[in-house]
């Protein structure tokens, strides 16, 4: 029997199969760009802010005049431009308003007394205080955001601040999802108040995968449930491959008599890897149906979640044109015992919290690959290497699920 492939080797092999992103580039309105991957560097044609401006409500003046009683010579609200400031005077100014020529400081209104149209300043004054300089945020001609970045709300706001109304992004992927098994029933197919037929289970994998893909800004092509039949499996896989940029199937890649996916993929294309040294999720497959990339995930719900997050997700991110970024790993003190050492790298479902001396990780009571609650009620994976034993009090590496979903 050939040795199981390590998670690191499998991920390297999967990612190396993606060449430079060749996704079509499209222009989208900025309000529709959230979650898209930037296809070109964005260079600002303006400085932000465009002028030296006031950081607060107060009075603009020359610092050398601050010891005098200064008449208020003008009023400058945000959005208007003041006149040249006369020496020995002050301008009433509001937050965000441009500093008038001749002024070099702003004194907050709380430190000023207004008497008969003049101000008297309390406290010390230094040149440059309370002034936001032109280009302090962004200088004209600078790169605002680099290609390969998934646009977050703050990124969209940053692009708006330099006047972008549209942006060049990679066209979102289409990913087909399928589930296999005669035992599966979609919740939508069982009427209200009707009981689930004996021997049947609800298909949770469809909803888990659709949600994970939606978080990647992927268009989901729903291939439904495939019955345990080789011909039906072949037809469904080929149809999914024709309709999508990638196919992800849950179940059917193990060695049971009713597991037909692996065999049919090998007939329609090829498998590049199968079976990882990972717990949960050993029977993971990767290959192609024709020219369409294919992932065969295990059927157990937790295994689907784990293998998608750790292997399929990084692949899809790279396929989207996203710059590679490994998930952030933290260290926490274990509040559990892992038991006997195993031969696979385990991703134990844990809840990480702040303790008195740092982060602590408590595991979910049931770590079975069929217990989806272990993911839903946890916020991290604790990584236990092959052959390693973790006892309570040991330091263990963790990945927060928010970094993977």
Q: Quick check: is 70 in a domain?
A: yes
Closest CA to 396 of 326, 345, 343, 325: 345
189 or 88, which is more confident = 88
The string of pLDDT tens digits covering residues 222-280 is 999 999 999 999 999 999 999 999 999 998 776 555 678 989 999 999 999 888 999 99
- For residues 287 and 187, membership in a common domain is answered with yes
Q: Quick check: is 1 in a domain?
A: no
Q: Is the peptide bond before 80 cis (omega within 30 degrees of 0)?
A: no
- For residues 179 and 276, membership in a common domain is answered with yes
Q: Determine the structural domain holding residue 124 and report its residue range.
A: 53-132
Domains contained in the chain, number: 4
Q: Quick check: is 139 in a domain?
A: no
pTM above 0.95, yes or no: no
pLDDT at 22: 77
Boundary (domain end) residue, out of 319, 349, 365: 319
Helix (H), strand (E) at residue 220: strand 219-226
The string of pLDDT tens digits covering residues 169-187 is 999 999 999 999 889 999 8
Terminal-to-terminal C-alpha distance of the chain: 34
- For residues 38 and 121, membership in a common domain is answered with no
- For residues 290 and 258, membership in a common domain is answered with yes
Boundary (domain end) residue, out of 287, 319, 351: 319
Q: Quick check: is 233 in a domain?
A: yes
Q: Quick check: is 73 in a domain?
A: yes
Q: Looking at residue 110, which CATH number applies to its domain?
A: 2.170.190.11
Q: Looking at residue 160, which CATH number applies to its domain?
A: 3.90.105.10
Q: Quick check: is 2 in a domain?
A: no
Res. 1: pLDDT tops 50 = no
- For residues 37 and 101, membership in a common domain is answered with no
Boundary (domain end) residue, out of 285, 319, 353: 319
Burial class for 146, CB neighbours closer than 10 Å (0-12, 13-18, 19+): exposed
- For residues 31 and 149, membership in a common domain is answered with yes
C-alpha to C-alpha distances, 140 to 44, 136, 137, 143, nearest whole angstrom: 6, 11, 10, 9
- For residues 198 and 272, membership in a common domain is answered with yes
- For residues 166 and 238, membership in a common domain is answered with no
- For residue 44, name the pLDDT band (cuts at 50, 70, 90): very high
């Amino acid at each position: 029997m050939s040795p199981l492939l390590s998670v690191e080797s499998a991920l390297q092999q999967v990612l190396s199969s993606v060449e430079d992103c060749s996704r079509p580039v499209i222009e989208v309105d900025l309000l529709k760009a959230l979650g898209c991957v930037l296809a070109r560097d964005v260079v600002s044609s303006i400085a932000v802010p465009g002028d030296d401006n006031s950081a607060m409500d107060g009075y603009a003046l020359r610092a050398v005049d601050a010891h005098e009683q200064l008449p208020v010579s003008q009023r400058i609200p945000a959005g208007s431009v003041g006149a040249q400031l006369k020496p020995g005077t002050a301008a009433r100014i509001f937050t965000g308003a441009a500093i008038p020529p001749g002024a070099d400081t702003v004194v907050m209104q709380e430190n000023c007394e207004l008497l008969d149209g003049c101000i008297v300043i309390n406290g010390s004054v230094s040149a440059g205080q309370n002034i936001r300089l032109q280009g302090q945020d962004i200088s004209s001609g600078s790169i605002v955001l680099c290609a390969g970045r998934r646009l977050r709300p703050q990124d969209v706001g940053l692009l708006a601040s330099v006047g972008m109304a549209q942006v060049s992004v990679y066209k979102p992927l289409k990913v087909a999802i399928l589930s296999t098994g005669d035992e599966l029933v979609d919740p939508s197919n069982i009427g209200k108040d009707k009981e689930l037929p004996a021997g049947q289970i609800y298909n949770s994998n469809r909803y888990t995968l659709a949600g994970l893909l939606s978080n990647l800004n992927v268009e989901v092509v729903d291939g439904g449930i495939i019955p345990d039949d080789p011909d039906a499996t072949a037809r469904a896989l080929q149809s999914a491959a024709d309709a999508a940029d990638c196919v992800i199937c849950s179940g059917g890649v193990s060695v049971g008599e009713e597991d037909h996916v692996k065999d049919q993929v090998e007939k329609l294309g090829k498998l590049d890897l199968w079976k990882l040294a990972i717990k949960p999720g050993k029977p993971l497959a990767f290959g192609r149906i024709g020219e369409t990339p294919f992932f065969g995930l295990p059927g157990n719900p937790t295994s689907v979640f784990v293998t998608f997050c750790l292997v399929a997700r990084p692949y899809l991110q790279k396929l989207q044109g996203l710059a590679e970024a490994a998930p952030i790993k933290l260290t926490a003190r274990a509040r559990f015992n892992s038991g006997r050492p195993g031969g696979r790298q385990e991703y134990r479902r844990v809840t990480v919290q702040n303790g008195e001396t740092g982060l602590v990780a408590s595991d979910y009571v049931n770590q079975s690959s069929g217990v989806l609650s272990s993911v839903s009620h946890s916020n991290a994976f604790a990584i236990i290497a092959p052959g390693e034993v973790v006892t309570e009090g040991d330091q263990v590496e963790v990945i927060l699920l928010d970094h993977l979903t």
